[in-house]
A and B are shown apart, each in its own frame.
Chain A
Amino acid sequence: MTLLDWIVLAGWLLFSVSYGLYRARGSQSTHGYLLAGKTMPWYAIGLSIMATQASAITFISTTGLSYVDGMRFVQFYFGLPLAMVLISMTAAPIFHRANVYTAYEYLEKRFDRRTRRLVSVIFLIQRGLGAGLALYAPAVVLSVILGWPEHITTFVIGALVISYTTMGGVKAITWSDVQQMVLIFSGLILALIMALSLMPKEVSFLDAVSLAGAAGRLNAVVTKFDWNDRYNLWSGLIGGMFLALAYFGTDQSQVQRYLTGRSIAQSRLSLLFNAAAKVPMQFFILFIGTMVFVFFIFERPPVLFQPVDERRLETTSGYDNIQTRFEAAHEKRRANALSWIRARDSQSLANYREAQREMDSVREDARKLAGAAPDTNYIFLSFVIHHLPSGVVGLVIAVIFAASMSVVSGEVNSLATVSVMDLYRPLKPNAPDKHYLAASRLATVFWGAYALSFAGLGRHLGSLIEAVNIVGSLFYGGMLGVFVLAFFVPRARARGAFFGVIAGEAAIFYCFFFTKISFLWYNVIGCMVVISAGTLLSLRAGAEGSN
């Protein structure tokens, strides 16, 4: 990082936080602090919802995922537009009309307080862990730039996020997200242009795309059905739809965003904007990862992208051997890639693919030798830090930082909302508004500290983007199921809903610990079990009541 990069980074962070706080001035009530006084326009909510997901994890992990595994992760998002349509038809108008602060408040109106509390606690556990992982992502960035240990950088960023979130509330978060998304789109386009322009002159854009395809990195649609395959068309459309339904329909961090809309129509438009923009955006981000992969065919990459692991590898006795093998494999891949784009025959293609397998094998041996975790999250950063020009590096890092801070702040804000509105206020119902506002700020600090304490888990979980979704999938099926019962099963009763959620969660954890079923299906299984068990128990309770 040069002085110019530091100026760009510091300037952007200062502007981003100040702008959000400026737009949030006057939020001196719980309604203003937690729901922005229901004044937000659709484009602000829509961009904010997108920004929540276009976090540091999106930049550093999604691009890394396509570098090592290709573009098939895009299928994960295929169910999202369908979910957005269903939520626009159902959850958005219901929550608006119910005039609630949280999605779980609606469960008390429909069932009982016990069900509201159970689902609130499930949300707090899963979103608290998710916030920890989101906090870890920018710490990865700083540790690479500054070489500091990750726990120190996590603490520094966490302290910044907690102070900003406690002051600003949801309005500050939403308006910060708007300008961050503009910067994120600009940063993405710039990163792709830079990756393409830094390739050798004899490699055209079409050559680069062909090289990515020949190495199996353009596998955007896999039609073969397999329960155990994480990403294929069917798991994406069905499992992804259930996950998105649960995320946008029952997760307070998202519901709270569209509850800030001026009207039902504004909330719907914000969701449908997301439906239209999300899949192409993810495709584009994954495509950047594949172009970074092609870039590193011609530019020697580090053996391990995590710098601390790379340094540890250098101190091992087997390092010389690994380095020699890696150099040879890289040169072979480079030469074979060039001969394939010139000749386009089957022999040179086979040679190129063989060289790619050798590269993968050496990297795997190096990882084992260094005792290192997968380095997926460090690949894009390594490209940015070492190969982009001064100023651009600062800008891309600023995008990663600001987006991630915004995500964590939004999640911490929703955790605080649920803690106060769903758990605390029912215990102390007649306190003045100022009391709940103070409690919300205090809860924000608590959840910020909680996220900080779980952030260190991120290092052991491989790809962060997958880790976040796996954690979510352990709980979302149960949450989605109870809302489906509430919305679509008129005979569902409180007892059925409560025990249905418990049965659904038991089924999900059974799948997680004792089967190899891919995590996207947990959402479907959990939801179905809640609906079946909840309906049966409700009917039985109804029959007993009649008797």
Chain B
Amino acid sequence: MKLPYQAQADEEPPPFLGTWERVYGAIVIYLAMLIVLFYAFSAIFTPPPSK
């Protein structure tokens, strides 16, 4: 049985990167980069706890 989300589309391609799969991959990589950046930002400006 074909699942509802697998139904064939009348799909338009995305306006960039060629396929939707590539666009989705770019979003995931972008998120990972943001998390690393935020972590670095916090670490740089937060001194260790006082003794």
Contacts and interface: CB of A to CB of B under 8 A. Distances in A.
Interface in B16-41: 20, 23-24, 27-28, 30-31, 34-35, 38-39, 41
A443 to B, nearest CB: 29
A220 B47 CA distance: 14
A265 B50 contact: no
Contacts of B38: 74, 220-221, 283
Nearest to A211: B45
A435 to B, nearest CB: 31
A218 B5 contact: no
Given A264-B9, A264-B11, A89 B42 contact: no
B50 A353 contact: yes
A20 interface: no
Interface centre among A85, A214, A275, A276 (most CB of B within 10 A): A85
B50 A350 contact: yes
Contact of A93 (B7, B34, B50): B7
Contact of A220 (B23, B39, B50): B39
Contact of B45 (A89, A218, A221, A487): A218
A78 B45 contact: no
B3 A218 contact: no
B28 to A, nearest CB: 7
A214 B46 contact: yes
Contacts of B51: 346, 350
Given A349-B50, A490-B1, A88 B20 contact: yes
A267 to B, nearest CB: 11
B42 A219 contact: yes
A313 B21 CA distance: 58
Given A78-B31, A81-B28, A93 B45 contact: no
B4 A272 contact: no
Contacts, number: 97
Interface residues of B, number: 30
Interface in A80-126: 81-82, 84-85, 88-91, 93-94, 97, 110
Nearest to A266: B12
Contacts of A210: 45, 47
Interface in A184-212: 209-210, 212
Contacts of A90: 5
Q: Please classify how large the interface on chain A is, using the bins under 10, 10 to 19, 20 to 34, 35 or more.
A: 35 or more
Given A85-B28, A490-B1, A490-B3, A221 B42 contact: yes
Given A268-B20, A487-B3, A487-B4, A216 B46 contact: yes
A221 B38 CA distance: 7
B47 A349 contact: yes
Interface centre among B41, B46, B51 (most CB of A within 10 A): B46
B50 A218 contact: no
Contacts of B11: 93, 264-265
Interface string A389-400: 000000000000
Contacts of A223: 39
A74 B9 CA distance: 36
Contacts of A218: 41-42, 45-46
A280 interface: yes
Contact of A89 (B1, B5, B47): B5
A471 B16 CA distance: 38
Contacts of A209: 45
A186 B11 CA distance: 36
B31 A213 contact: no
Contacts of A88: 20, 24
Contacts of A53: none
A486 B4 contact: yes
Contacts of A265: 11-14
Given A93-B7, A264-B12, A81 B31 contact: yes
A504 B46 CA distance: 41
Nearest to A85: B24
Nearest to A488: B3
A269 interface: yes
Given A268-B20, A488-B3, A490-B3, A214 B47 contact: yes
11 contacts: A82-B31, A85-B28, A88-B24, A90-B5, A91-B5, A94-B4, A97-B7, A269-B14, A272-B23, A486-B4, A490-B3
Given A220-B38, A268-B14, A488-B5, 13 more contacts: A74-B38, A82-B31, A91-B5, A94-B4, A110-B4, A209-B45, A213-B46, A218-B42, A264-B10, A269-B14, A349-B47, A487-B3, A487-B4
